[in-house]
Amino acid sequence: MTLQLRPPRHQVSPKSVLLWTMQAAVFWLVLFIPQLVVFLLVDSPPTWELALLVATGVIGVAHTAVEPSWRYRVHRWETTSDAVYTLSGWLNQEWRVAPVSRIQTVDTKRGPFQQLLGLATVTVTTASAAGPVEIEGLDQETARRLVEELTTTTQATPGDAT
């Protein structure tokens, strides 16, 4: 018999696909546009410059097209009365579990794109420097309820969580 981790119960907001698409697009444009400008301004640019430009463009388009929806199929989260459980990543995946009794802080943050889309990231930290559990791309109402719920259960648990 073999053991496996089951996927956490909830998916993140479908709008996350758009969020990740925007993030990927910005990342690749920042790499692509300066190259393009140089390529257009320089007289008789070398071939490797063209090759690099094309490569950046192709990989960028492919990544931006594939990664966000792939991510959306992977990213999941769940809380129980005892633990917070998440799965994230796309090519490389990572499961994180933090017991509610060890939670130190629960924060929400919204980047500019997330504000635009009405999304939020909830970060749950423990005493471990390597331990924060992040749930990215929740819609703001879900995030608010999650934070409230976690804060209440955490305060009910005694101890300094180390």
Partner 1 sequence: MSTPADLPAAPELTEPLSQWHRLHVRMLIVRPLNEGIAMLMPILVLLFTGDGEKWRIIASGATVAAILAFSFLLWRTTRYRITDDQVELHTGLLTRKQLSVPRDRIRTVDLTSKPGHRLFGLSAVRIGTGQKDVPGLDGLTLDAVTSEEAERLRVLLLRKAVPPQPAEGEEPAAPSPSDVISQLDLRWLKFAPLSLSGLVAIGAVFGVLSNYADDLGLDVVHDLWGWLFEHPSFSLIGGFAVALVVLGLVLSVPLYVIQFWNYRLTREPDGTLRVQRGLLTTRSVSVEEQRLRGVDIQEPLLVRAGRGAKAIAVTTGLGSKGESNLLLPPAPLSVAHQVSRDVLRVEDDPTTLKLRKHPFAALRRSLFRHIVPWVVIAAGLAIWAPAWAWPIPLVVLPFSALVGWDNYRSLGNAMDPRYLVTRNGSLVRSTVALQRTGIIGWRIERSFFQRRSGLVTVGATTAAGAGIYRVTDVGESDGLALADEAVPDLLRPFLLLEGE
Name residues whose C-beta falls within 8 Å of residue 56's C-beta, 6 or more positions apart in sequence: 28, 31, 32, 35
Instruction: For the beta carbon of residue 50, count every other beta carbon within 10 angstroms.
Output: 12
* Nearest to partner 1 of 4, 44 (CB atom): 4
* Nearest to partner 1 of 95, 113 (CB atom): 95
In whole angstroms, the minimum distance from the beta carbon of 49 to partner 1 comes to 16
The values of phi and psi at residue 107, to 5°, are: -120, 155
Name residues whose C-beta falls within 8 Å of residue 117's C-beta, 6 or more positions apart in sequence: 15, 18, 19
Structure tokens at 16: 């996350």
Residues engaged in binding partner 1 (CB under 8 A): 1-6, 8, 78, 80, 82-83, 85, 91-99, 102, 104-105, 125-131, 133, 160-162
In whole angstroms, the minimum distance from the beta carbon of 147 to partner 1 comes to 16
| CA–CA distance, 61 with 122 (Å, rounded to integer) | 29
Element (H, E) at 113: helix 112-117
* Nearest to partner 1 of 105, 115 (CB atom): 105
* Nearest to partner 1 of 99, 118 (CB atom): 99
In whole angstroms, the minimum distance from the beta carbon of 13 to partner 1 comes to 22
Whose CA is closest to 137, among 93, 85, 71?
71
In whole angstroms, the minimum distance from the beta carbon of 149 to partner 1 comes to 17
In whole angstroms, the minimum distance from the beta carbon of 24 to partner 1 comes to 18
* Nearest to partner 1 of 112, 159 (CB atom): 159
Q: Is residue 154 within 8 Å of 103, Cβ to Cβ? A: yes
